[in-house]
Amino acid sequence: MSYCLNPACPQPKNPIHVETCQACGSHLLLRDRYRVQKALGQGGFGATFLAQDESLPGDPCCVIKQLRPASTGAHLIPMARELFEREARTLGKIGNHPQVPRLLDYFEDNQQFYLVQEYISGSTLQQEIRRSGPLSEAGVKHFLSEILPLLQYIHSQQVIHRDIKPANIIRRDQDGRLVLIDFGAVKNQVNPVTTNASDQTALTNFAIGTPGFAPPEQMALRPVYASDIYAVGVTCIYLLTGKSPKDLDYNPSTGEMVWQKYVQVTAHFAEVLKKMLEASVRHRYQCATDIMRALDLEPYLDSLTQGLATQPNSPPGSNKGLNSQSFYSGDLTDKSSPSSPSTATSKLAMAIRARRARKEQSGGGYTAGSQRTQSGPSQRGSANLLKSDGFTTGKPKVPIKLDANGLLTAYMKGRRDFASQDLSGLDLHKVDLSGGIFHQAKLAKTNFQGADLSNADFGRASLNRSNLRDANLGRAYLSYADLEGADLRGADLSYAYLNHANLKGANLCGANLSNAKISEEQLTQAKTNWATVLPSGKRGFW
């Protein structure tokens, strides 16, 4: 299909390869290279379209944003142009980050303004939640581990996004990484000196953001960096509950959103969310780094740093890398650059380690929920507590291998974070470890037969040849996990996230994979039989 971009066209859909619109006569090949296929979305100030770049081999896909001023007044055209150029500069400045769409082109044509961006193939978080249901605390922490370093980078470039929400965050099919979209020029304010009040209102009505996700100061057209923190907090509530802000109650005295009764999270995480959602800016977290430190996201940051070591793209105008389906390899940026996303993440992880070491050397240790123990009169008692939680008592503290009793004792005391622990070979059959965090943990040959591992986080964990027969892995996070040779017969993997997991030789006979996130290629590497419930809900061999 060739789609006409004339806003006044009565019938914009045309047959493929038609040069002019059959309804209005407009030229269909934009700038003699971009053929629009369909509309993706439309707002009061602009529209977004999927297009193909016919000037490049393979006709790669791209996204075209067309800015359409609400008024056709001649005095509004310069302001619209300013907004358009501001978004182009923003995307040009931050588009070297692998979690931000690249700016490929921008131009003006017949008093219409166009931005051409990289097409990101994938599902938005809004679509994922509607399809698969809410996430666990571990899943939301994974979300924060990916979005907060990105937010830190964006803010370091003096950019406030102003419209962070689940519909503007896409999980890219290519690598499963989250990508933040819609850095709309309409989110920028217009200087009121340059226009009258009615014109100002016409333009800034679209600069406020999305009601419910935007904090009070942003609704008052005074956004700050912490405004994005608030929006991320509301997004977390949506991911935990599946409820939009408009579906939640508000405190009539303070105007704050009432969310606590809808979520089941640890007390520590609830406090972090509460501070992200403070209506008062001064009481809210001021930067993404503060949240990452509060949550001690170091285990995730290390893997994230490795994941960011990819070249995002070629510069605009290059013939390479314009197809969003291709994989970009190589160094991300100059590692000596202070603005390098991977460098910034590495430094944050190092800072967390240093802070942890200082705490431990002063007498504290790691216990359940990332809380520290207090040094007491009995050094021996502290040593036993530290050892039971998986750390030696020397300085600095070094993780040791937990036995089955130590793991279960720590879990019963409220600890959920066992990231990077060596738990290989343990007998944990029929135990309840639901919601546990085993990110990058060593779990080879571990016996989880009949265990409740629902909502658990096994991202990048080593589970090769583990016994997961009849285990409950519903809604578990298994992205990049190594499940080679694992016994998953009869396991419940409904709604599990298995993207990029290694399933070579894994036994999925009789397993329930309904609504699981898994590719055809992964399933062909595993063993299935007539009793296997496929992601579609149907039974049978793959």
d(CA 116, CA 92): 11
Q: Where are the domains of the chain?
A: 2-118, 122-312+340-347, 401-542
Token pair 């407009």 in the structure block, residue = 26
Model pTM score: 0.59
pLDDT of 386 reads 33
Beta-carbon contacts of 153 under 8 Å, excluding residues fewer than 6 positions away, are 94, 97, 339, 341, 344
Residue 73's pLDDT band, with cuts at 50, 70 and 90, is low
d(CA 153, CA 163): 16
What is the dotted CATH code of the domain comprising 2-118? 3.30.200.20
Return binding residues for ATP.
Answer: 65
For residues 198-211, average pLDDT? 52
Condensed to tens digits (0 to 9), the pLDDT of residues 354-402 reads 665 555 555 444 333 333 333 333 333 333 333 333 333 334 444 557 8
Residue 8's pLDDT band, with cuts at 50, 70 and 90, is confident
Q: Are 275 and 116 in contact (CB under 8 A)?
A: no
Please list the active-site residues. Answer: 163
Condensed to tens digits (0 to 9), the pLDDT of residues 155-196 reads 988 889 989 999 999 999 888 889 998 876 334 333 333 333
Copy the structure tokens of residue 484.
């080679």
pLDDT of 221 reads 83
What is the dotted CATH code of the domain comprising 401-542? 2.160.20.80
Residue 343's pLDDT band, with cuts at 50, 70 and 90, is low
pLDDT of 356 reads 58
For residues 67-92, average pLDDT? 72
Condensed to tens digits (0 to 9), the pLDDT of residues 491-532 reads 999 989 898 899 999 999 999 999 898 998 999 999 999 999
For residue 77, pLDDT over 90 is answered with no
Average pLDDT, the chain: 78
For residues 248-276, average pLDDT? 90
The CATH-assigned architecture of domain 122-312+340-347 is Orthogonal Bundle (1.10)
Condensed to tens digits (0 to 9), the pLDDT of residues 211-221 reads 899 999 988 88
Q: How many residues does the chain have?
A: 542
Whether the bond between 223 and the residue before it is cis, its omega within 30 degrees of 0, is no
Q: What are phi and psi of 345, to 5 degrees?
A: -65, -40
For residue 482, pLDDT over 70 is answered with yes
d(CA 451, CA 433): 7
pLDDT of 345 reads 55
Token pair 């989110």 in the structure block, residue = 187
d(CA 423, CA 239): 30
Least confident of 198-212, 224-238, 300-314: 300-314
| Cα angle 90-96-102, degrees, rounded to a multiple of 5 | 70
d(CA 495, CA 397): 37
d(CA 25, CA 98): 39
